[in-house]
């Protein structure tokens, strides 16, 4: 099972990225957990300075932008 984390404090961009991640997971029909990481201290542990950020299986894939569903699918495929 894939572990996908969206790092962000709950801003509109963070919510958009979360929605796009959930859409991509459904479209690919993969087993994955999608977690929101909202505490600043927890976000800082990833070394991320800009949110929203996408972490897949412990690796930061993107920071500071809202990825499209297609971009997310590319990271998960």
- Looking at the DSSP assignment, which residues form a beta bridge with residue 37? 7
Q: Is 11 annotated in the active site?
A: yes
**Does 14 qualify as catalytic in the annotation?**
yes
Nearest in space to 26 (alpha carbons), one of 60, 69, 71, 75? 69
Per-residue confidence (pLDDT) for residue 77, from 0 to 100: 85
**From 4, 7, 14, 53, the catalytic residue:** 14
Catalytic residue among 3, 9, 10, 11: 11
Measured CA to CA, the distance from residue 41 to residue 31 in angstroms comes to: 28
Helix locations, the chain, DSSP H: 12-28, 40-44, 69-76
pTM score of the predicted model: 0.94
Between strands 2-7 and 53-56, the pairing is: antiparallel
Token pair listed for 69: 């569903």
Average pLDDT over the chain, rounded to an integer: 96
Domains of the chain (ranges, CATH numbers): 2-76 (3.40.30.10)
pLDDT in tens, the chain (77 residues): 999 999 999 999 999 999 999 999 999 999 999 999 999 999 999 999 999 999 999 999 999 999 999 999 999 98
């Amino acid at each position: 099972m894939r572990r996908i984390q969206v790092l962000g404090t709950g801003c509109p961009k963070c919510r958009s990225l979360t929605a796009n991640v959930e859409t991509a997971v459904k479209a690919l029909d993969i087993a994955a957990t999608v977690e929101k990481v909202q505490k600043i201290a927890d976000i800082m542990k990833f070394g991320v300075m800009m949110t929203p950020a996408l972490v897949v299986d412990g690796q930061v894939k993107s920071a500071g932008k809202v990825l499209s569903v297609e971009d997310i699918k590319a990271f998960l495929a």
